[in-house]
Amino acid sequence: MQIVQNWEASITLLIVESKLYDSCSYFDTIKLNMQQNYAKHEHNAAAARKQLEEKNCAIVQFQAEQAQQVQEIETLHRRIDQLEYMKKEHEKMQMRLDTHKGDCAVRNIHCLKGEDLEEENSLHEKLRKALGDLDEAYSALSVRNSELSQLEINLNQQQEALDHLEELKHVTENKLKGYMDENHVLKRDLNAKGEIEESLREENDKLLDALNEANSALSEKKTELRQSEITLHQQMQALEHLEELRANMETEIKGYADENRVLKRDLDVTHIAKMEAEKTHSEEREKLLSALDKANRSLSDRKNELDQSSIKLHQQMQAVEQLEKLRVDMETELKHYMDGNCVLKRDLVAALDSKMDAEESLREEIDKLCSIIDERGRHIEELQQHIALLEEENLDRKLDVAGLIKSEVEKSIQEMNKKYSEIVEVFEKKLLELETRLSFFEQKYTCREQEIMEMFDQEEEDWYTLISEKENAIAEIKVIVESAQLDIKHLLETASEKLAEVQVEVQQLFGFAENLNSLNLIQEHDNLFKDMLVAECERELEALQMNLAVEKEQSGNLKNTLEHLKAKTMAEMFEKTKEHLEVSSMLKSLEERKQILEDHVGELTSRTNDMCNVFAQERNGLFAELTGLIDTIGAAVHGDEELMASLTKIMHKVNNEEAFHNSSSREMPNSENINSRSTAPLARNKSVHLPHRRLPLKEHNY
């Protein structure tokens, strides 16, 4: 049983070692995965930093372009101011023309009454030419008005493009802030992962220390098992020696049985008692053999518990062997005496047959022989008393041996209980440590989950606040844009009104010019003014065309940059989603591993509980078997006492029969005395010899 238990313990230890090795390899793989993930996160962070730098550069370029556009808008405002200044100068010129018209009217009234029709015709022709020129000027003004409307449309489009660019700028800034926040979160996650890796390393070190301790304990247990195997081998050798001694004693018992059968032929009186005694002894012998087999089995089952007692038992067995040798010597002496008695019987029979006449001499010889027989009987009685004393001493020694065995068994049981209690305490300590570690891991996991949830909540709140701020900023920008659009519309309306007024004034001027005589001066001034206006308009058109070309190029570049930024942002968002999925998968894998570790811990606890239950059952079984051995030893002692009492009764019966025969048959007193005296020591000898080899029994046969 103990070998099977040791084998099961070694198997369980191998399983535990394999599981610990698997856990170590599992932790190593986790470390490698964490390192790889850390390297990936660093690479992603570096790429994100590069992208942020590129985005910052693009934003700087966009800000520079926006500054250029602001400068262009300022130049346009300056041009508008210049146009207003030109309008004011035109009004001044109109005032001068009014004064000049009044002067011309006075001159026409006073001086030009008697001019010729030719001058009027020439004036009409000049007026027609002036009207043609005015029509051309009107057409040019309409063209300029259309160009101004197109410029206004282009300005509106540019303003919308600027608004769109500002919105994109805000969006990109929001995305950049989100990326920065995500980078901060990733850094925090990396720091937390580093802390977790450090804690895992510490736990791995602790587990390795525990493994080393377990290996040392296993090595100690293996050495103890080897020592126990050596002691078992020694005990097996001792048991084989005892079996050889038992076989020798059985052969001796068979020899004694044969001798008893020979003596039974001569002893008719004690034949029935001897047959009963032999039957009882044979039954007891069989029971003793079965008890010996049971004892051998029990001894083979409990070799480990009786290591120290085997040495003392060996010493006591040597003492018993010495006693057996003394008993054998006494039995040999008894045999010699019995042989002498047989010879004397034969001599007496021959003397009775041959010398019936010489009764006196025979009586004298018979008296001498009776005296010799009495002396020998006395000597035999002394030997029997000595044998009884030896048996009592042997019984005392057996009782002492039983007490020693009980004490040693109790000591061994106490030691086993102490060892078991120590082992149970060690297992309980380890279980408590594992439970504390599991609780610590659970607390860490819960704290980490709470921190992550708080971080997610804070990020959501930040996102919502940023979105609300951006929406407010966009609303403000829309209000500003609408106000700017209204201002531009008002300016355009005022400009159109002023142009209409200018056109009306020009028409009036041309109407007044029909009546003027100094149309040449007016035409020259008009031509100069027209040339100036045409030159300025051409310059403005060229500048506007250049600005439009530049703005088109800038808008194309901005579109390309925006598309590039959109692609980058989409790629980054895709990478971030991948990373988020990886992190979620890692969390799920960690949760699964946690559940697996909890299952392993539950299995280990169940196994320890099973081992504790098995050990308790085995301990109870050992206690029951020890109590059974003690009961069998007590029963054996009681049976020996009862056998001694039965033998004393038989001896009393034999003595009574001798007395009866002495009183009934006086003719053959010597022979009967010889028979009675020869039978009694044999019975005593048998009673002395057999209990020595007797083992515990609960049944008693008389």
Give residue 695's pLDDT: 42
For residue 191, give its domain range.
Answer: 2-109+125-216+441-576
Write out 246-265 in H/E/C secondary structure. Answer: HHHHHHHHHHHHHHHHHHHH
Residues in CB range of 390: below 8 A, 6 or more apart: 323, 326, 327
Q: Is residue 167 part of a domain?
A: yes
Q: Is residue 431 part of a domain?
A: no
Give residue 14's pLDDT: 72
CA 597/CA 635 separation, integer angstroms: 56
Could you tell me the two tokens for 133? 């020129």
Query: What radius of gyration, in Å, describes the C-alpha atoms of the chain?
Result: 67
Output the CA torsion 567→570→575→579 (10° steps).
160
Q: What angle do CA 418, 421, 427 make, to 5 degrees?
A: 145
Q: Is residue 248 part of a domain?
A: no
CA 184/CA 190 separation, integer angstroms: 10
Give residue 357's pLDDT: 63
- Give the chain's residues under pLDDT 50: 112, 667-702
CA 324/CA 249 separation, integer angstroms: 10
Q: Is residue 344 part of a domain?
A: no
Q: Is residue 420 part of a domain?
A: no
Contact indicator for 636, 696 with CB cutoff of 8 Å: yes
Could you tell me the two tokens for 55? 């985005």
CA-closest candidate to residue 601, choices 430, 389, 465, 446: 430
Q: Is residue 481 part of a domain?
A: yes
Give residue 662's pLDDT: 67
Q: Is residue 652 part of a domain?
A: no
Could you tell me the two tokens for 22? 């698997």
For 272-298, give the DSSP string: HHHHHHHHHHHHHHHHHHHHHHHHHHH
Give residue 447's pLDDT: 77
CA 534/CA 144 separation, integer angstroms: 9
Overall size of the chain counted in residues: 702
CA-closest candidate to residue 434, choices 7, 19, 28, 33: 19
Give residue 679's pLDDT: 44
CA 147/CA 536 separation, integer angstroms: 13
Give residue 267's pLDDT: 59
Q: Is residue 55 part of a domain?
A: yes
Q: Tell me: the pLDDT tens digits for 265-310?
A: 665 655 566 567 567 666 766 766 666 666 556 556 656 665 665 6
User: Which pTM does this prediction carry?
Assistant: 0.20
Looking at the structure of the chain, the number of domains it has is 1
